[in-house]
Amino acid sequence: MASDADACGGGSRDECGERAWLLQSPCVESVRQLESERRKTSGVSSMGATFIVVNAALGAGLLNFPAAFNMAGGVAAGLMLQMCMLIFIISGLVVLGYCSLVSNEGTYQEVVRASCGKFTGVVCELSIAVYTFGTCIAFFIVIGDQLECLTAAVVPDAVAPHWYLQRKFTICVTAVLIILPLSIPKEIGFQKYASAISVVGTWYVTIVVIVKYFLLSEESAPTNIPTSASSWTAVFNAMPTICFGFQCHVSSVPVFNSMNRKQMKPWGVVVTVGMIICLFVYTGTGVCGFLSFGSEVRQDVLMSYPSNDIAVAIARAFIIICVITSYPILHYCGRAVVEGLWLRYRGEPVEVCVVRERRRRIIQTVVWFSLTLALALFIPDIGKVISLIGGLAACFIFVFPGLCLIQAKLSESDNRSASWHALVVYGVVMVIIGTFVFGLTTSNSIYQDVVS
């Protein structure tokens, strides 16, 4: 983290950390703070933008990648699926930068609203709210998983853990005593420290998983390592995890607008390098975690390791800290979207309405917090949540960027060359693929997790 200040165009480390975490979230207030900072400085360098993109993409989805390789049918199928999707992931980020430049808008939802109209903009905002809500549920589940293993390490010989060490109680205590107080304030001032913790934590988890695989003895090696998927639809079950892991598109528009060179060529380099870095992190964790446990790998890979392993226990502690600091930020952004939708519905200006703001904020926070906590207590598997919101992440990666590209090109009535037609066709392909992935994975997840 020593180069963070340089990466932010000469700003201080605190400013860099604050900007990095603000840009991870699709909220209006974050973008306003970003724009204010950008006016005071020369903007973010390409290196700093790359760091922010990587930081926005890496997160709790890392824990689910070994299980995704298992669902895809092995290392070869998982890598092939990941590489194919990476092409669309990078192109979607480039498209969003282009559409932001054309529409002169500073956030993801504003670009969609300006490019595709009011109705699509509202759909996009609702999707962001649902996505952040689901991610908050996943965060609570991760906290429960890791605390369960840490308490088992503290009391290893207990046949049945005491009531104060049980999963539901530890989640509730952590949520009420730590997360709720951090979620209520109007502004969040600790995000500058969360950035560094998140980066260190995710990289540490990757290193632990890789080292544990190479230290694996022949006696401990798994005997059942799938080399093919059980069915052709099973391959698509891995897509939500990949989309959830690489989804930084909502954050990408503010990142693009924060750059000191707001141009397509440097932006293309930023997103390409950033996604390649994420690819190595996710692939290292996914491949080594899958080969360490084979078909027995858990949805949360850290749950597959023994609870008394010191290195893994440190990784669990890192993940818990990351999630505790990430939940208020994701909630803050979801709350901002809900607030904007509510004020527009009431016909009140978003920028100037401050009447009863504190009461609305507290009510929104308590309702959001209570619902996510209640659902997390009765959904013990993070894979079930990711399979649902991962399909929604496909909309942010494929559908909305594709629609924006189509509308941006259709507005150019003068020059309709071969490249123009190619880009329109590519936008249509993105929408079709995104709709297919969203529809298939979401319906499949609902069938498996609810009906079955």
Model pLDDT, residue 5 = 35
**Confidence at 241, pLDDT banded by 50, 70, 90:** confident
Is residue 440 assigned to a domain? no
- CA distances 339 to 73, 218, 359, 361, 392, Å, are 43, 56, 12, 8, 21
- pLDDT exceeds 50 at position 206: yes
Q: What is the pLDDT of residue 96?
A: 92
Q: Point out which residues pair with 159 in neighbouring strands.
A: none
Range of the domain at 85: 4-390
Question: How many Å apart are CA 389 and CA 438, to the nearest integer?
Answer: 9
Amino acid, single-letter form, for residue 314:
I
Q: Which of the residue ranges 204-208, 308-312, 334-338, 354-358 would you say has the lowest mean pLDDT?
A: 354-358
Measured over the CA atoms of residue 33, residue 35, residue 36 and residue 38, the dihedral's sign is positive
In this prediction, residue 6 has a pLDDT band, given cuts at 50, 70 and 90, of: very low
Is 85 part of any domain? yes
Name the band, by pLDDT with cuts 50, 70 and 90, for residue 26.
very low
Please count the structural domains in the chain.
1
Domain annotation covers residue 89: yes
- Max intra-chain CA distance, the chain: 75
Per-residue pLDDT band at 19 (split at 50, 70, 90): very low
pLDDT at 265 over 60: yes
Least confident of 17-26, 196-205, 342-351: 17-26
Alpha helices by DSSP H, listed for 155-190, are: 167-174, 180-183
Q: Is residue 450 part of a domain?
A: no
pLDDT digits (tens, 9 = 90+) for 36-88: 554 445 577 888 888 888 877 887 788 889 988 988 888 888 899 899 899 99
Has residue 424 been placed in a domain? no
Q: For residue 420, what pLDDT band results from cuts at 50, 70 and 90? A: confident
Please give the pLDDT value at position 35.
52
Q: Give the C-alpha distances (Å, rounded to integers) separating 413 from 68, 101, 409, 416, 420.
A: 44, 18, 8, 7, 10
pLDDT value of position 349: 63
Mean pLDDT calculated for residue range 113-122: 90
Tell me, what DSSP letter sits at residue 294?
G
| Average pLDDT of the chain, as a whole number | 80
Q: What is the model's pLDDT at position 369?
A: 93
- Say if residue 385's pLDDT is above 90: no
Residue 444 pLDDT = 77
pLDDT tier, 17 (very low <50, low <70, confident <90, very high otherwise): very low
Could you tell me what percent of the chain has a pLDDT over 90?
21
Residue 331: band (very low, low, confident or very high) from pLDDT cuts 50, 70, 90: confident
Tens digits of residue pLDDT in 266-291: 999 999 999 999 999 999 999 999 99
Local structure of 143: helix, strand or coil: helix
Is pLDDT of 264 > 50? yes
Tell me, what amino acid is at 355? V
Query: Which distant-in-sequence residues (6+ apart) come within 8 Å of 143 by Cβ?
Result: 170, 171, 174, 175, 320, 323, 324
DSSP class of residue 300? S
In this predicted structure, the answer to whether residue 357 has a pLDDT above a threshold of 70 is: yes
**For residue 61, with 0-12 CB atoms within 10 Å meaning exposed, 13-18 middle and 19 or more buried, which class applies?**
buried
Please give the pLDDT value at position 193.
57
Compute the average pLDDT of residues 231-248.
Answer: 81
Mean pLDDT of 186-206: 71
CB 120 within 8 A of CB 112: yes
Given this model, what pLDDT does residue 22 score? 36
Q: Is residue 279 in a domain?
A: yes
Q: What pLDDT shows up at residue 406? A: 92
| Count of C-beta atoms within a 10 Å radius of residue 167 | 17
pLDDT of amino acid 430 = 93
Rounded Cα gap, residues 430 and 354, in angstroms: 40
Exposed, middle or buried, 381 (CB in 10 Å: 0-12/13-18/19+)?
middle
130 versus 29: the higher-pLDDT residue is 130
Q: What is the CATH number of the domain that holds 83?
A: 1.20.1740
> Does 452 have pLDDT greater than 90?
no
Q: What's the rounded Cα separation, in Å, for the pair 138 and 244?
A: 11
Q: Are 209 and 301 in contact (CB under 8 A)?
A: yes
Whether residue 432 is contained in a domain is answered as: no
Within-domain flag for 140 = yes
Contacts (Cβ under 8 Å, ≥6 apart) of 66: 209, 285, 286, 288, 289, 290, 292, 293, 297, 301, 304
Q: How confident is the model at residue 90 (pLDDT cuts 50, 70, 90)?
A: very high
Tell whether the model's pLDDT for residue 411 goes beyond 70.
Answer: yes
In the predicted model, what is the mean pLDDT of residues 185-209? 74
Question: Closest Cα partner for 403 from 419, 424, 421?
Answer: 424
Q: What is the pLDDT of residue 320?
A: 87
Lowest mean pLDDT among 49-58, 199-208, 248-257, 365-374: 49-58
For residues 156-179, average pLDDT: 78
